[in-house]
A = this chain, B = another copy of it.
């Protein structure tokens, strides 16, 4: 039997991502003990019933004491407070990592809150579903998926190696980039798609001439899958937009400009330009398929493979 990667791991935040990491680590014996903590007493109670952690701690102090690795799995806007709450109790040389969907802001807010002896390895598993909470987690959420690591001044080589080993063991492929580059790549591939999905569902709800029951009935025409990502956790996404403001506003500006150009083509009956644009995007779609990054099933990134 292989030695576990860590003796004790603490996971702060037991929602979809945190609880999936615990389940994945326990399933693969990556840690001798996993202690979970959540700021909400109600979530702690639900996690306790589900029994996926070895221990549910009642305080952040109890959770991190003696842990070699501490994983911050809270919304991006709660990262600074979470880092402050664990800082005084971190074991000597402890590694802290996070799973936030925004990286530059997290590096700014978390690194400065941690003691000198600890290292910090910012991370972002590009995985998720539209469900939230400890009940929604599952061990294979990260299998076959990408995880981005964005080393900062507080990341030692040894700590990066350990965190990469963890994600690799959970089934992910790790890619390294700067926090700033991560934030612009994710703005276009994830943040703007979510914003648009949230927006169109709101627009539909406000149309006076179309009933909600009609929207629901005919949603198979394309709308349905927009509602899916618009069901994602509101607090998590509020924090993503507030903390990745510059990249989101930059990409959103381009999106709106491009949309105005399409709108003008429609208004002026410019069929040739419309067809050219639609043909071009179709070619890009083929690129996604050819690169093996998609199957015939739309899945918002769920893992379909066999997990055992």
Contact = CB atoms under 8 A, between A and B. Distances in A.
Nearest to A254: B203
A152 interface: no
Interface in A221-249: 221-232, 234-235, 237-239, 241-242, 245, 248-249
Interface in A146-166: 146, 148
A206 B207 CA distance: 32
A281 B198 CA distance: 6
A239 B300 CA distance: 29
A169 interface: no
A275 B146 contact: no
A219 B288 contact: yes
A192 B200 contact: yes
A235 to B, nearest CB: 6
A193 B254 contact: no
Q: Which of A145, A278, A286, A300 has the most CB of B within 10 A?
A: A278
A189 interface: yes
A291 B220 CA distance: 13
Given A254-B207, A298-B225, A219 B293 contact: yes
B229 A262 contact: no
A293 B228 CA distance: 12
Nearest to A128: B221
A251 B207 contact: yes
A54 B291 CA distance: 39
A215 B230 contact: no
Interface in A103-143: 126-128, 130
Contacts of A242: 266, 269, 271, 274
A189 B215 contact: yes
B203 A285 contact: no
Contacts of A205: 280-281, 284
Q: Which secondary structure dominates where chain A touches chain B?
A: helix
A45 interface: no
A216 interface: yes
Contact of A298 (B216, B218, B287, B298): B298
A182 to B, nearest CB: 9
Q: Which of A194, A201, A245 has the most CB of B within 10 A?
A: A201
Nearest to A231: B285
Contacts of A291: 213, 216-217
A202 B234 contact: no
15 contacts: A128-B221, A146-B220, A189-B218, A193-B226, A202-B280, A206-B258, A213-B291, A222-B300, A227-B285, A231-B286, A237-B278, A238-B274, A249-B263, A249-B267, A252-B266
**Minimum-distance CB pairs A-B, first 7:** A190-B221, A220-B301, A234-B278, A193-B222, A231-B285, A201-B281, A189-B223
